[in-house]
């Protein structure tokens, strides 16, 4: 018999270290929430460029630090953090297309939203893992780095099923 427990990730890694299609540009060195620190005027230039697809990123610092692409209405402590951007040429190369159609633009937007969501989860400490133990409480399997408790639980249950079937 095995037991599954979802736990907070004891040593989370920033998802910005891994493969991302976008780059988060931020301008406030006191709030280093992004990949590249640039002057605010550079962010404005990128936002005016036709060569870049970008979305604004807003932040909130309270009990936890959070980021999103829609803003925080009427919340004291919220701010414009910068943008997440991708060069249109990079989109064409990644998706091997000559023209960026609306469907692809939406796909890229969803990928960038996911990147912001994952980074926000990391910044706010909302990263999880699972631990599988035998009846004797001996730890037999674990994995961390999930961005939601639901994902950790789902993956943990799948792995626990593997252990049951293997009759370890």
63-110 pLDDT, tens digit per residue, is 889 999 998 876 777 899 999 999 999 999 999 999 999 999 999 999
Instruction: Assess whether 29 and 50 both reside in one domain.
Output: yes
Please state, in angstroms and rounded to a whole number, the distance separating the CA atoms of residues 100 and 107. Answer: 10
Instruction: Assess whether 112 and 139 both reside in one domain.
Output: no
Task: State residue 2's pLDDT score.
Answer: 87
- For residue 69, the enclosing domain spans 15-124
Number of structural domains, the chain?
A: 2
Instruction: Assess whether 46 and 92 both reside in one domain.
Output: yes
Instruction: Assess whether 60 and 26 both reside in one domain.
Output: yes
Is 167's pLDDT higher than 80? Answer: no
Is 168's pLDDT higher than 70? Answer: no
Instruction: Assess whether 66 and 140 both reside in one domain.
Output: no
Question: What mean pLDDT comes out for the span 141-152?
Answer: 95
Q: Is 54 helix (H, G, I), strand (E, B) or coil?
A: strand
Task: State residue 18's pLDDT score.
Answer: 87
Instruction: Assess whether 28 and 101 both reside in one domain.
Output: yes
Is 135's pLDDT higher than 90? Answer: no
Instruction: Assess whether 111 and 160 both reside in one domain.
Output: no
pTM flag (> 0.75): yes
Q: What is the mean pLDDT of the chain?
A: 93
Instruction: Assess whether 95 and 63 both reside in one domain.
Output: yes
For position 142, which CATH number holds? 3.30.160
Instruction: Assess whether 29 and 49 both reside in one domain.
Output: yes
Instruction: Assess whether 88 and 57 both reside in one domain.
Output: yes
For residue 79, which of 97, 61, 55, 103 has the smallest C-alpha distance? Answer: 61
| Banded pLDDT at 13 (limits 50, 70, 90) | very high
Question: What mean pLDDT comes out for the span 150-154?
Answer: 97
Residue ending a domain, choose from 107, 124, 141 = 124
Collect all residues with Cβ–Cβ distance below 8 Å to 123 and sequence separation of at least 6: 33, 64, 65, 66, 67
Instruction: Assess whether 56 and 120 both reside in one domain.
Output: yes
Instruction: Assess whether 120 and 47 both reside in one domain.
Output: yes
Task: State residue 63's pLDDT score.
Answer: 85
């Amino acid at each position: 018999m095995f037991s599954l427990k979802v736990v907070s990730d004891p040593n989370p890694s920033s998802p910005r270290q891994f493969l991302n299609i976008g780059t988060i540009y931020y301008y406030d060195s006191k709030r280093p929430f992004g990949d590249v620190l640039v002057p605010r005027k550079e962010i404005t230039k990128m936002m005016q460029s036709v060569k870049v697809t970008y979305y604004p990123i807003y932040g909130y610092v309270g009990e936890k630090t959070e980021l999103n692409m829609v803003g925080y209405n009427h919340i004291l402590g919220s701010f414009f953090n910068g943008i997440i951007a991708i060069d249109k040429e990079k989109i064409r190369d990644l998706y091997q297309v000559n023209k960026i159609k609306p469907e692809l633009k939406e796909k890229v937007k969803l990928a960038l939203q996911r990147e912001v969501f994952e980074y926000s989860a990391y910044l706010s400490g909302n990263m999880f893992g699972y631990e599988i133990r035998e009846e004797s409480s001996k730890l037999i399997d674990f994995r961390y780095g999930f961005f939601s408790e639901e994902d950790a639980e789902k993956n943990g249950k799948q792995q626990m099923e593997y252990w049951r079937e293997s009759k370890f």
